[in-house]
Structure 1
Amino acid sequence: MTTNPAATAKAWPFEEARRLLKRIDNRVPEKGYVLFETGYGPSGLPHIGTFGEVARTSMVRRAFQELSDIPTRLFAFSDDMDGLRKVPDNVPNREMLAEHLHKPLTRVPDPFGKFESFGHHNNAMLRRFLDSFDFEYEFQSATDWYTSGRFDQVLLTVLANYDRVMEIMLPSLREERASTYSPFLPVCPKTGHVLQVPVLERNPDAGTIVYEDVDGSKVETPVTGGACKLQWKADWAARWVALQVDYEMSGKDLIDSVKLSSRIAQALGGRPPESYTYELFLDDQGRKISKSKGNGLTIDEWLTYASPESLSLFMYQKPRQGKRLYFDVIPKAVDDYLTFLQKFPEEDAAAQIENPVWHIHAGSPPRAEVPISFALLLNLAGACNTDDPAVLWGFISRYAHGATPEAHPALDHLVRYALAYYRDFVVPTKTYRAPTDVERTGMERLRAWLHDHAGETDAETIQNEVYAIGKELEFEPLRDWFKALYEVLFGQSAGPRMGSFVALYGTKETADMIDRALEGDFLAPEGETGAA
């Protein structure tokens, strides 16, 4: 009997999938499927965190599908009935938007003039965003659920359990906030504003509440049909109950909210979903990334310098560990992805299912045809001092016989990513230095060997010679020899495997580069920094 390797796989999506199977006791839920959910706040455009949450949830869903034939669905739920609290900085017609503060996002005019409302605009951006990554999901709108009546039953349940909800929420609030708190936010029929006002009376039999309007008048309104929405912790709980959500992820900053919403869901007679808490991203200084501060990477910035697959790998790896999300993580993510992709065909089924590319590509990763690393391309761009893809392809086609941009589109994409990254992030930080006496001796020996072995293309032979020179000159540790080559020849403290670089760039070309470095051609004029 053959055992499914997924049953014992240690990859975190499989651990989560098995936890979910245990929740449902390996049986089809009454609603007929297992429901995964991700949330989106459409007061702004989708961002890299949105991608991460949908990508990771999709990975758990795919692992679940490998373990079970039970149907699954993934809802991307937009909280588009929230009131517009402030005018975003990055939109046109900001003065017009200011006139519609506090209205539900789906009742605020679109500042771009393209859609029915600002909420509809941002929802469309979400769908386009998710579709561009081929995510399999179903879009859901809070406005649709509230106004269609599909939330009516759970809203009446909240009203019937009003005191229990308040008992859960009030201890978590500051005194001033607690004095006016209500789980219901009426939508004012006069102004269209989502009101945060205390509830004066509750009429569960009639399904209504009475509140004091901003003009002092008392207003009775139904809690159903879109006349009210719920405060977000109660809203989250009610959604879980109404949709019967089985699985949802959230960031570390929402741990307390998950606990409160879970208690509210239980008070409403429902069961909160299995939750997974992921760590928040950090910037290059180790500070939490903030959308308002802009300290970190946007998804457009990542995709300017690297592939979506490399971003998926970054999201897959250690989601419960804080990671720097900044430009300098990109090269490693790209090369790690290529390494995992190249290993996959040679692995057995048990190893493949632990390989990140299995999860990135929903169990069917493509064949890898990229014989050159991203790091190597970065240094090739530096050695050539070019931003022209054709120049790099001249060296690549000699190194990988018959390789062309047309025959190797993945490699061509990598070339263009490398040139963009080199131009924007490597060039500004290059700092060349002169060699010490012993380093100069080593580089002179390497130059002489390269002249004597013109045309040598075996990377291992070249690497062994570089290694032997360092040993002969008694560099201790030996990595100091390689670091010296990187700093003197490339203006960087780290670089490629030298044998691979020389095989790609050429023995004569590398010898000439060493000549120029030893002559001081790369050094900046006195009083300046960086390359001359």
Structure 2
Amino acid sequence: MSEALREIAQTSKAWPFEEARKLLKRLEKSKVSKDEVLFETGYGPSGLPHIGTFGEVARTTMVRHAFEVLAPGVKTRLLCFSDDMDGMRKIPDTVPDPSALQEHLQKPLSAVPNPFGGNFDSFAAHNNAMLCRFLDAYNFDYEFASATEYYKAGRFDEKLLEAAARYDDIMKVMLPTLGAERQATYSPFLPISPKTGRVLYVPMKHVDAKEGTVTFDDEDGEEITLPVTGGNVKLQWKPDFGMRWAALGIDFEMFGKDHQSNAPIYDRICEILGAPAPQHYVYELFLDDKGQKISKSKGNGISIDDWLKYATTESLALFMYQKPRVAKRLYFDVIPKNVDEYLSFLSAYPRQELKDQVNNPVWHIHSGNPPEVDVPISFALLLNLVGASQSEDPNVLWGFIKAYAPDASPENHPELDKLVGYAINYFHDFVKPARKFRAPDEKERAAMEDLAGKLKEIDPKLPGAEIQNIVYAVGKEHEFENLRDWFKALYEVLLGESQGPRFGNFAALYGVEATAARIERALAGEDMSKA
């Protein structure tokens, strides 16, 4: 790794470097000697993993790589932690047979039967596997951790015993954050009923720090004493956050804005249990098409598999990189824009100086080593081609592509070939059902007649930029005060959409003669949804 890169990283305004510098400063001030720097992400397997979960791992990976640039030679590790010992408080909307899980409410997610079928022995095991499957597909460098396994294996025993010894101190942190009714019954310890297997939210009758036990009344009223170790007891989620940080020595964790008000509580619990709190990064939440927070249990927003049906993981990673502290709609209509922006950033990268490359999102998406990819056609343009060609056959679309770019083929342009498939899927599911064609008004008709005539006269191999100039000129000649109205008319009349890529590029790809013929068919009143 070059010294020039490290120097640039010291002042880069790219947010992963800003966070990495904060982490480095925190570690330098800390008096704790460590062999490695540990990054963590959390996952609650109460529902299938959604894109927000992927985003947390992707963003943390970006910070981790930025840190490795700033601190070469320092060992780092990423732990993806699943809170699968949490009780199932409600049955997710996304399960096949919700009634079958009714009797398992309040049991740890790792003890709830798997409703999805397959070889997984619990609800949590299935959801954990779905998470790992995707993270593996994206080649994340991570270590998966299960709360159930850690609790039962005694990985938290030392800090649980310490929590029993510092019980009063923890209660002093927690009680002021609760209402009067909750204060009367609250305990940071949640015992697992030895009779029902459920996670119990009950007050502690006694906490014995010396013996490391808690005493409480079970669901049937019988007084029970359990050791806090060995997975017999777990912590409420807020104390659990801080305990886990202390037990594992976490150095960095990011979380959503819904955790922001609780961060001081997590920190204080961690400190009570004898460890410095980690560096935080708070990101804004993702919203669905109605502006509501996406939720694993509701299944709103986009699933991981949804995005991958229509676009690459790299375009998804770009979405995660861009403005993480701004709330963003995470819905299907954001996909085309992110695909094309990713391709634009990737295309610019080889021509940039090092300082600009480091600030280019693709540097962070690909951990400093973006691939060389030649994609001569935008995703938006491919979507228009699918609509205009009236074909969802890749071979037909490649016929247009080869006429536009003779050297291109599925074999030597595999990334473009993937985009063709994605464009077909996206067009079929989202563009086609929403298209609304209209007839031109008199002014638009005259301009389109003029444009069709000019397209018939030009060289069929004229570049898209020059065709665009012709389209501009026609709009000006026909006195469109706002040329956007002229281009909007072309797209609404010819393609059933109100916007699209540069029309000149579309005409070059679709063919100037075919474009002229399409204009004439529209002016003749043909049904353009079938033309």
- For the criterion TM > 0.5, the same-fold answer is yes
**For residue 102 of structure 2, what is the amino acid of its counterpart?**
A
Q: 2:95 aligns with which of 84, 91, 94?
A: 91
Paired position in structure 2 for 1:526? none
**Is the 2:309–2:422 Cα contact (8 Å) retained in structure 1?**
yes
Paired position in structure 1 for 2:65? 62
After superposition, the Cα gap between the structure-2 partners of 1:372 and 1:27, relative to the gap in structure 1 and judged at 3 Å, is: farther
After superposition, the Cα gap between the structure-2 partners of 1:285 and 1:124, relative to the gap in structure 1 and judged at 3 Å, is: closer
Confirm or deny that 1:154 pairs with 2:159. yes
Most deviating of 290-299 and 356-365: 290-299
**Is the 1:46–1:129 Cα contact (8 Å) retained in structure 2?**
no
Paired position in structure 1 for 2:419? 414
Shift in Å, 1:380: 0.8
Higher relative contact order (CA 8 A, sep 6+): 2
Confirm or deny that 1:327 pairs with 2:332. yes
Q: Deviations over 1:298-341 (max 9, x none)?
A: 22111111111111100110000011111111111110000001
Partners of 1:508 and 1:216 in 2: how far apart?
Answer: 84
Q: 1:223 aligns with which of 224, 228, 249?
A: 228
After superposition, the Cα gap between the structure-2 partners of 1:430 and 1:330, relative to the gap in structure 1 and judged at 3 Å, is: same
Partners of 1:125 and 1:440 in 2: how far apart?
Answer: 54
Q: 2:207 aligns with which of 202, 214, 233?
A: 202
Partners of 2:118 and 2:520 in 1: how far apart?
Answer: 61
Confirm or deny that 1:440 pairs with 2:445. yes
Q: Deviations over 1:29-58 (max 9, x none)?
A: 623111100011122221111101101111
Q: 2:365 aligns with which of 360, 369, 378?
A: 360
Q: 1:351 aligns with which of 353, 356, 362?
A: 356
**Is the 1:432–1:531 Cα contact (8 Å) retained in structure 2?**
no
Partners of 1:409 and 1:283 in 2: how far apart?
Answer: 32
Specify the SS of the correspondent of 2:92. Answer: coil
Specify the SS of the correspondent of 2:205. Answer: strand
Paired position in structure 2 for 1:23? 26
- Within 5 A, what are the aligned runs for 1:160-199? 160-199=165-204
Question: 5+ unaligned residues in a row in structure 2: which ranges?
Answer: none
Partners of 2:127 and 2:440 in 1: how far apart?
Answer: 55
- Within 5 A, what are the aligned runs for 1:95-106? 95-106=99-110
**For residue 272 of structure 2, what is the amino acid of its counterpart?**
A
Shift in Å, 1:461: 1.8
**Is the 2:390–2:530 Cα contact (8 Å) retained in structure 1?**
no
Paired position in structure 1 for 2:121? 116
**Is the 1:186–1:227 Cα contact (8 Å) retained in structure 2?**
yes
Paired position in structure 2 for 1:527? none
Confirm or deny that 1:516 pairs with 2:521. yes
Shift in Å, 1:73: 0.5
Partners of 2:290 and 2:95 in 1: how far apart?
Answer: 29
Partners of 1:289 and 1:126 in 2: how far apart?
Answer: 17
Specify the SS of the correspondent of 2:226. Answer: strand
**Is the 2:46–2:296 Cα contact (8 Å) retained in structure 1?**
no
Q: Deviations over 1:156-205 (max 9, x none)?
A: 11111111111111122222222111001112222222211111112111
After superposition, the Cα gap between the structure-2 partners of 1:189 and 1:93, relative to the gap in structure 1 and judged at 3 Å, is: same
**For residue 389 of structure 1, what is the amino acid of its counterpart?**
P
Paired position in structure 1 for 2:133? 128
Equivalent residue pairs, number = 526
Specify the SS of the correspondent of 1:4. Answer: helix
**Is the 2:242–2:269 Cα contact (8 Å) retained in structure 1?**
yes
Paired position in structure 1 for 2:82? 78
Confirm or deny that 1:339 pairs with 2:344. yes
Q: 2:472 aligns with which of 436, 449, 467?
A: 467
After superposition, the Cα gap between the structure-2 partners of 1:43 and 1:170, relative to the gap in structure 1 and judged at 3 Å, is: same
Specify the SS of the correspondent of 1:314. Answer: helix
Shift in Å, 1:126: 2.1
**For residue 220 of structure 2, what is the amino acid of its counterpart?**
D
Paired position in structure 2 for 1:457? 462
**For residue 103 of structure 1, what is the amino acid of its counterpart?**
K
Shift in Å, 1:4: 2.6
After superposition, the Cα gap between the structure-2 partners of 1:284 and 1:113, relative to the gap in structure 1 and judged at 3 Å, is: closer
Specify the SS of the correspondent of 1:85. Answer: coil
Partners of 1:297 and 1:124 in 2: how far apart?
Answer: 19
Most deviating of 485-494 and 21-30: 21-30
**Is the 1:37–1:248 Cα contact (8 Å) retained in structure 2?**
yes
**Is the 1:430–1:531 Cα contact (8 Å) retained in structure 2?**
no
After superposition, the Cα gap between the structure-2 partners of 1:199 and 1:383, relative to the gap in structure 1 and judged at 3 Å, is: same
Partners of 2:207 and 2:289 in 1: how far apart?
Answer: 51
Confirm or deny that 1:423 pairs with 2:422. no
Partners of 2:327 and 2:530 in 1: how far apart?
Answer: 35
Partners of 1:493 and 1:449 in 2: how far apart?
Answer: 23
Partners of 1:29 and 1:67 in 2: how far apart?
Answer: 19
Aligned-residue Cα RMSD (Å) equals 1.9
Specify the SS of the correspondent of 1:260. Answer: helix
Partners of 2:107 and 2:148 in 1: how far apart?
Answer: 12
Shift in Å, 1:502: 1.2
**Is the 1:109–1:118 Cα contact (8 Å) retained in structure 2?**
yes
Specify the SS of the correspondent of 2:438. Answer: coil
**For residue 42 of structure 1, what is the amino acid of its counterpart?**
P
- Within 5 A, what are the aligned runs for 1:193-272? 193-272=198-277
Partners of 1:486 and 1:95 in 2: how far apart?
Answer: 49
Question: 5+ unaligned residues in a row in structure 1: which ranges?
Answer: 524-529
Partners of 1:507 and 1:115 in 2: how far apart?
Answer: 56
**Is the 2:49–2:304 Cα contact (8 Å) retained in structure 1?**
no
Partners of 1:456 and 1:449 in 2: how far apart?
Answer: 14
Q: Deviations over 1:378-416 (max 9, x none)?
A: 111111111111111001011111211122110011011
Partners of 2:176 and 2:155 in 1: how far apart?
Answer: 30
Partners of 2:118 and 2:401 in 1: how far apart?
Answer: 48
Most deviating of 386-395 and 262-271: 262-271
Q: 2:16 aligns with which of 7, 13, 19?
A: 13
Partners of 1:504 and 1:405 in 2: how far apart?
Answer: 16
Confirm or deny that 1:317 pairs with 2:339. no
**Is the 1:34–1:73 Cα contact (8 Å) retained in structure 2?**
yes
Shift in Å, 1:13: 0.5
Q: Deviations over 1:474-530 (max 9, x none)?
A: 21122221111111111111012111111111111011001011112136xxxxxx7
After superposition, the Cα gap between the structure-2 partners of 1:288 and 1:90, relative to the gap in structure 1 and judged at 3 Å, is: closer
Partners of 2:224 and 2:498 in 1: how far apart?
Answer: 69
Partners of 2:353 and 2:456 in 1: how far apart?
Answer: 44
Specify the SS of the correspondent of 1:250. Answer: strand
**For residue 393 of structure 2, what is the amino acid of its counterpart?**
D
Q: 2:301 aligns with which of 269, 275, 296?
A: 296
Partners of 1:254 and 1:8 in 2: how far apart?
Answer: 29
